Structure 1
Amino acid sequence: MAKNNNTETDRGTLDLGWWVSGGLLVVIIVGVIVGVVIWPKDTTAAPNTTPTATAPATPTAEDAREQPAAETAAACNTKGADQALPTEAPKTVWKTHPHEWLVPTSTEYGPSNQKETFWSCFEQSPSGAVIAGPNLFAAVSAGVEEAALPGPGRDAAIESVAEGSSDYERAVFEGFRVLAADKSSATIDYWVRAAGTNVSVVMEMVWDEDASDWRLNLEGAGDHPRISVLEDTSNYIAWR
């Protein structure tokens, strides 16, 4: 059974409306429309209040390029990996994914395969899952089917990406907390910054025995990933 570290959430109590409109996941916050991109479609018909593509303030893609390259990690399907839930951020090198997302990498936890748009091969551990989430998210955003379990949820995400544009603002991953994790599954709540707003993005992952790697799970009832606005980030482990 997955270790559970779930605590009371710090979400806002406003009646927030979430829906996919013009390819953007939109949240209404006190009458102000803020675009938070998940699986973008063509945004040419979006209202003028939808933010345009901008580089994140901190860290920037240029900052990532200036950091030393991570060494190749023997992360995939590591036997005897530490299964303790992380209490601090792993040592991380931030890199710019080919789809322009800034993603975490680690010499210990992966991804040890950083070819093209599908960065893969993560340690089979809670910390490996933490690193895997943003990388798999970026891969699905680039239309990589293999980054998620097969099913209608994945198909809908890939179809949305195929119909869309890559011209949109990338959110910045600021921190995380592990809600539950073991060798076979993980639920990670990521703190991200999007259009100046703190947002919770909860991703579910499973260990794919055939691939010997983590995969996003976009199937099942409800929205995947689950997203809400954050009022308090104090319960998150900050990456920086």
Structure 2
Amino acid sequence: MAAEKDPLGRGWIIAGALLLLIIGGILAGLLIPRSEDPAPPPGTTPPPTSTPSSQSPTATNPENEPPKTAGACTADLNDDQDFPATAPETTWDRHASGVIIPTSPDYGPGAKHGDLWGCFPQSPKGALFAGLNLYAAYAVGEQEALAEDSLVSAPSPSAGPAYGESDPPVFEGYRILMSDEKEASVQYLARQGGRDVAMTLDLVWDENANDWRLNLGTPTPVVDAVTDRSVFTRWR
């Protein structure tokens, strides 16, 4: 008597078992949690996790202002080395000292730190604008306006308006006595108290500040009476 045939067949049983194994593997993969980062290969050390600095760049300087020295002067100014035969175009601004001083977008000041208006090109025109700006700053107690070895033993002027209730000088002309890359001497023609006077200021180039600084031998610069205005270049 012949054996009965299996109506389903062994092949269907084996295929069903394989299908159950595949479905079980998929479910297991979905249920097992996976790490976000793959494990490093054996014998290697994972790179350290960077942490933000405790201080942001503006934490110690909330105003984000550059220092007064150590390369503070970075403005893009005109550094041509020509001596100004005619007065450069100038805007006259009143300083806290009470005096009206020359400013220019081409020749400075390129930066203002309180009463210290600085940043001038290393040129004759830069020295021309620097002299009065720096002396106005020194007149209200800004020692940063001076060269490091200038007025070591001299007392600094008291803070506040330098001219009190009197009329400040009105600067009307100039003549550059000398100027090179290291030093300059500029004489300024001023009208004060009904008479013409000339104030001479000496400057030196400060490599640390990347700017001009006053080189004063006495607290008060030399002021002379003027008898001939024609030797000065008219400024205004």
TM-score range for the pair, normalised by the shorter chain length: 0.5 to 0.7
User: For the structure 1 residues 197 and 154, does the alpha-carbon distance in structure 2 shift closer, same or farther, using more than 3 Å as the test?
Assistant: farther
Residue aligning to 1:194: 192
Q: 1:106 aligns with which of 99, 104, 107?
A: 104
User: For the structure 1 residues 206 and 145, does the alpha-carbon distance in structure 2 shift closer, same or farther, using more than 3 Å as the test?
Assistant: same
Residue aligning to 1:233: 229
Give SS of 2:154's match.
helix
Partner amino acid for 1:122?
F
Partner amino acid for 1:238?
R
Question: Is 1:113–1:121's contact at 8 Å kept on the other side of the alignment?
Answer: yes
Equivalent runs, 1:23-102 vs 2, <5 Å: 74-75=76-77, 81-102=79-100
CA shift, 1:165, in A, is: 6.7
**Does the alignment pair 1:140 with 2:142?**
no
CA shift, 1:223, in A, is: 7.8
Residue aligning to 2:51: none
CA shift, 1:164, in A, is: 9.1
Residue aligning to 1:206: 204
**Does the alignment pair 1:181 with 2:176?**
no
Give SS of 1:153's match.
coil
User: For the structure 1 residues 99 and 157, does the alpha-carbon distance in structure 2 shift closer, same or farther, using more than 3 Å as the test?
Assistant: same
Q: C-alpha distance in 1, partners of 2:87/2:198?
A: 17
Give SS of 2:230's match.
coil
Q: C-alpha distance in 1, partners of 2:163/2:200?
A: 23
Higher strand share: 1
Partner amino acid for 2:195?
T
Residue aligning to 1:161: 158
* Structure 1 moving runs of 4+ over 3 Å: 162-166
Listed as ranges, the gaps of 5+ residues in structure 2 are 1-73
Partner amino acid for 2:228?
D
Higher relative contact order (CA 8 A, sep 6+): 1
Q: C-alpha distance in 1, partners of 2:150/2:183?
A: 20
TM-score, normalised via structure 1 length = 0.62
Give SS of 1:133's match.
helix
Deviations 1:18-65 (A, max 9, x none): xxxxxxxxxxxxxxxxxxxxxxxxxxxxxxxxxxxxxxxxxxxxxxxx
Residue aligning to 1:130: 128
Q: C-alpha distance in 2, partners of 1:87/1:165?
A: 31
Deviations 1:49-82 (A, max 9, x none): xxxxxxxxxxxxxxxxxxxxxxx9623xx6xx22
Partner amino acid for 2:107?
Y
Partner amino acid for 2:226?
L
Q: C-alpha distance in 1, partners of 2:162/2:88?
A: 33
Deviations 1:177-224 (A, max 9, x none): 0110011110001101111110011100011000000000013xx785
Q: C-alpha distance in 2, partners of 1:163/1:135?
A: 16
User: For the structure 1 residues 164 and 93, does the alpha-carbon distance in structure 2 shift closer, same or farther, using more than 3 Å as the test?
Assistant: closer
Q: Which has the higher Rg, Structure 1 or Structure 2?
A: 2
User: For the structure 1 residues 199 and 126, does the alpha-carbon distance in structure 2 shift closer, same or farther, using more than 3 Å as the test?
Assistant: same
CA root-mean-square deviation: 2.4
User: For the structure 1 residues 154 and 235, does the alpha-carbon distance in structure 2 shift closer, same or farther, using more than 3 Å as the test?
Assistant: farther
CA shift, 1:109, in A, is: 0.4
Give the aligned length: 162
Give SS of 1:156's match.
coil
